[in-house]
Amino acid sequence: MNHGEIETAFPEAKGQAVTFEGSRRSKLDGKGRMAVPAGYRGQLDPKYGNTLVVTRGYEGCLVLFPPEVWDARQKKVESRLGRKYEDPRVRKLLRVLSANTETVTMDSQGRILVPEHLRDMAGLVGEALVLGVGNRMEVWDPARYQSYEDDVDLGTYEELAAEFLADEPLYLVIEDDQGDEEEVDE
């Protein structure tokens, strides 16, 4: 599915950046509808309407992508894997990914219908925790996420940050009116 030209900047796309941050709780009703948090809805490009792509994530969560990010990601997947279709592992990956991906549309109240098989996969019943994770949102069962977070100790976090963010300062250098520099935590 092609949702149009990419106008956002992510590792997968070019243009103006959208960044989802923070965490918010959202209720799931008996039909499996979940409200996309208003703060996140406001960052979605209106030219794509009320459409999101929901798919299987890692560690038992679901992932919501803006359509332009999903399209760019799929182009990258096709570029990397399409010519390796003879490999049974590649076919398995592509099948599982495709079978667990749905395009969903927000209703007038900002709710999406999370498909039942994806709700079951993520253990979503009654309430979800929606995390802003850069250019995507993750949807977790709150208890599952708490367990996941409890397993991430400070030492592991610091090791990962040192390894993957070593070239990226975690502070800003701000120059004041007198030309003096000051480090400020981001």
Residue-wise pLDDT for 25-61, tens only, equals 999 999 999 999 998 998 887 877 799 999 999 999 9
Residue-wise pLDDT for 91-120, tens only, equals 898 899 899 999 999 999 999 999 999 999
Question: pLDDT grade, residue 176 (50/70/90)?
Answer: low
60 and 114 in a single domain? The answer is yes
161 and 136 in a single domain? The answer is no
**What global pTM score does this model have?**
0.77
Q: What is the CATH number of the domain that holds 25?
A: 3.40.1550.20
Name the nearest CA neighbour of 13 among 83, 86, 85, 65.
65
- Stronger pLDDT, 19 or 31, i.e. the higher one: 31
102 and 43 in a single domain? The answer is yes
In a domain, 59, yes or no: yes
Question: pLDDT grade, residue 84 (50/70/90)?
Answer: confident
Residue-wise pLDDT for 129-158, tens only, equals 999 999 999 999 999 999 998 887 767 778
The set of residues, in sequence order, having a beta carbon less than 8 Å from that of 103 and lying 6+ positions away, is 1, 51, 52, 53, 67
In a domain, 147, yes or no: no
- Residue 121 has what pLDDT? 96
Total domains in the fold of the chain: 2
15 and 80 in a single domain? The answer is yes
22 and 107 in a single domain? The answer is yes
In a domain, 91, yes or no: yes
- Residue 106 has what pLDDT? 94
- The residue range of the domain holding 183 is 152-186
Q: How many angstroms separate the first and last alpha carbons of the chain?
A: 37
178 and 99 in a single domain? The answer is no
